[in-house]
């Protein structure tokens, strides 16, 4: 199954309350927005933060770099809020670019595509993402994510 436009964020927001053990996510741009353009996006981030506070293991790999022009300014705020909620937050080290866009819920359901977790991706851009239900494919996606995550730099709230 494929999700386009706002259906991606709406689907994630609807499924996030079902997460009981793990949430793994990777995005180039992360954005908390209180604007009218993406209420589902704010609801999604709030639920991920709530899950982290409730003890669900949240692992976030978000682009963050020393080259300011290549790093969305909104990422720092999201990374900081996730970390404060107890999530494990990492980024690719100097000179690297974290450009993957994926989400894995409880190692049972995967999403992979072009959607960032941002207002533009959820409300303006033409984006497409695939829902992965096949357990072998979800396991493979989880292993790939974990390999990237394990080799990434730990975010400790530092500003670059």
pLDDT at 103: 97
Nearest residue to 64 (alpha-carbon basis) of 78, 53, 51: 78
How far apart CA 56 and CA 46 sit, in angstroms, is 14
pTM reported for the whole predicted model: 0.93
pLDDT at 6: 85
Task: Write out the E strands in 21-127.
Answer: 22-27, 57-62, 88-91, 102-105, 109-113
Q: Could you report the per-residue pLDDT of 20-36, keeping only the tens digit for each?
A: 999 999 999 999 877 66
**Cβ contact 19:105 at 8 Å:** yes
Q: Could you report the per-residue pLDDT of 53-72, keeping only the tens digit for each?
A: 999 999 999 998 766 566 77
pLDDT at 27: 95
Assess if CATH 3.30.870.10 describes domain 2-154: yes
Low-confidence ranges of the chain (pLDDT < 70): 35-37, 66-70, 160
């Amino acid at each position: 199954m494929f999700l386009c436009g706002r259906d991606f964020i709406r689907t994630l927001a609807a499924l996030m309350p079902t997460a009981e053990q793990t949430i793994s996510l990777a995005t180039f741009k992360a954005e908390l927005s209180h604007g009218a353009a993406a209420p589902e996006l704010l609801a999604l981030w709030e639920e991920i933060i709530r899950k982290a506070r409730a003890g669900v293991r949240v692992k976030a790999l978000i682009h963050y770099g020393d080259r300011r022009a290549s790093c969305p300014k909104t990422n720092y705020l999201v990374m900081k809020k996730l970390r404060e909620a107890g999530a494990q937050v990492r980024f690719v080290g100097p000179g690297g670019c974290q450009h993957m866009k994926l989400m894995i819920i409880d190692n049972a359901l995967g999403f992979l595509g072009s959607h960032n977790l941002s207002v533009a991706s959820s409300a303006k851009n033409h984006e497409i993402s695939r829902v992965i239900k096949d357990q072998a494919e979800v396991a493979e996606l989880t292993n790939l994510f974990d390999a990237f995550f394990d080799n990434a730099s730990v975010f400790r709230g530092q500003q670059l």
